[in-house]
């Protein structure tokens, strides 16, 4: 038995070793280098000296960058709230759909992941631009109803377009964990609530929502974090006043050539990610202990 276990450990180590080496070489080591840059200073056009300074992190809290951080958090928070409001009914409908239809509905939710984000963003530009489908449709309706000229709506290159784009991109991240939580609900609790005289809305808010809280918390975390660090959507859909913190980071690395400051901003986002994941795990542990 002992020899068999040793062989199993050798096979396990042999199969796990190459992926761990790949992860260390191409993810952990570059990440550690960028983290070290966040404590450095530029000493030339291409040279960085690791001095252990916290100046780059302190600079991130200057009013200009702090305002961009807060604006990014506001956009990500609004995106998360809209995804929750829109995604909960979708997840609920998929949960109670017939088995054959459920598979197709889940496929529709996951279908955007099979398309490149850049392609989806340009498709959204075609919908929102001045000569886009929304303005063409509204113009046709307005002209036939009022017989007057229609002024196209400014739906692109502003904060509205950024939020719409973020919701469009991140909605599946909210729907899937919500569906996972709702699909595990004990249907007998819902039937008991309805039999005892509670209406559908009261059953929804008193029974379904509390039982779905783990899925809601997971959906909020995995929607808020990518939305906070979104780069492509605000870059293509936003205007000069719609830039988020990821766009500032990109400028530090590519245009300003200030890698230490860009690294500090990047790791501040990563620290926030760790805090959000740790908070979600702590809440889940407390909820598990309470139940």
Q: Which tokens hold the place of 288? A: 């598990």
- 257: pLDDT strictly greater than 80: yes
Cβ density class 224-238: b for 16+ within 10 Å, e for less: bbbbbbbeebbbbbb
CA 137 to chain centre: 31
d(C-alpha 35, C-alpha 271), whole Å = 11
Query: So what's the pLDDT on residue 5?
Result: 53
Query: So what's the pLDDT on residue 204?
Result: 85
Instruction: Give 96-151 pLDDT, tens digit per residue.
Output: 999 889 989 999 999 988 989 999 999 999 999 999 999 999 999 999 888 888 88
- CB neighbours of 45 closer than 8 A, spacing ≥ 6? 257
* Dihedral (CA of 180, 184, 189, 190) sign: positive
Residue ranges covered by each domain of the chain? 56-290
d(C-alpha 168, C-alpha 175), whole Å = 12
Mean pLDDT for 153-173 is 94
- Pairing status of strand 48-50 against strand 40-42: antiparallel
* Dihedral (CA of 107, 110, 116, 121) sign: positive
156 three-class SS: coil
- 190: pLDDT strictly greater than 80: yes
Judging by beta carbons within 10 Å of its beta carbon (0-12, 13-18, 19+), is residue 132 exposed, middle or buried?
middle
- 8: pLDDT strictly greater than 70: no
- 36: pLDDT strictly greater than 50: yes
Query: So what's the pLDDT on residue 1?
Result: 47
Helices (H), 96-186: 99-110, 117-128, 133-146, 159-182
Q: Is the full-model pTM beyond 0.85?
A: yes
d(C-alpha 142, C-alpha 146), whole Å = 6
d(C-alpha 290, C-alpha 166), whole Å = 35
Under CATH, what is the fold of the domain 56-290? MetI-like fold (1.10.3720)
Q: Which tokens hold the place of 148? A: 């007057």
d(C-alpha 261, C-alpha 193), whole Å = 56
Closest Cα to residue 218, out of 267, 174, 260? 174
Please name the helix (run of DSSP H) or strand (run of DSSP E) that holds residue 16, with its range, or none: helix 2-23
Judging by beta carbons within 10 Å of its beta carbon (0-12, 13-18, 19+), is residue 196 exposed, middle or buried?
exposed
DSSP secondary structure letters along 243-267: --HHHHHHHHHHTS--HHHHHHHHH
Q: Which tokens hold the place of 97? A: 């759909």
């Amino acid at each position: 038995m002992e020899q068999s276990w040793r062989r199993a450990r050798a096979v396990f180590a042999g199969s796990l070793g190459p992926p761990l080496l790949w992860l260390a070489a191409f993810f952990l080591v570059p990440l550690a280098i960028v983290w070290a840059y966040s404590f450095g200073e530029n000493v030339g056009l291409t040279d960085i000296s690791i001095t252990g300074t916290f100046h780059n992190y302190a600079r991130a809290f200057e009013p200009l960058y702090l305002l961009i951080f807060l604006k990014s958090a506001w956009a990500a928070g609004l995106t998360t709230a809209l995804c929750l409001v829109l995604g909960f009914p979708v997840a609920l409908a998929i949960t109670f759909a017939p088995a054959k239809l459920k598979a197709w509905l889940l496929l529709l939710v996951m279908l955007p992941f099979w398309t490149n984000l850049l392609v989806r963003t340009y498709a959204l530009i075609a919908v929102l631009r001045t000569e886009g489908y929304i303005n063409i449709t509204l113009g046709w309706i307005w002209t036939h109803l009022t017989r007057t000229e229609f002024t196209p709506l400014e739906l692109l290159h502003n904060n509205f377009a950024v939020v719409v784009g973020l919701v469009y991109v991140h909605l599946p991240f909210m729907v899937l964990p919500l569906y996972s939580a709702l699909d595990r609900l004990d249907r007998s609790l819902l039937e008991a609530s309805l039999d005892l005289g509670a209406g559908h809305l009261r059953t929804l808010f008193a029974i379904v929502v509390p039982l779905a809280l783990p899925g809601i918390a997971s959906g909020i975390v995995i929607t808020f974090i990518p939305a906070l660090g979104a780069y492509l959507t605000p870059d293509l859909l936003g205007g000069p006043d719609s830039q988020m913190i990821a766009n500032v980071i990109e400028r530090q690395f590519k245009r300003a050539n200030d890698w230490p400051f860009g690294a500090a901003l990047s790791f501040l986002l990563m620290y926030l990610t760790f805090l959000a994941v740790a908070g979600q795990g702590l809440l889940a542990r407390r909820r598990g202990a309470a139940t």
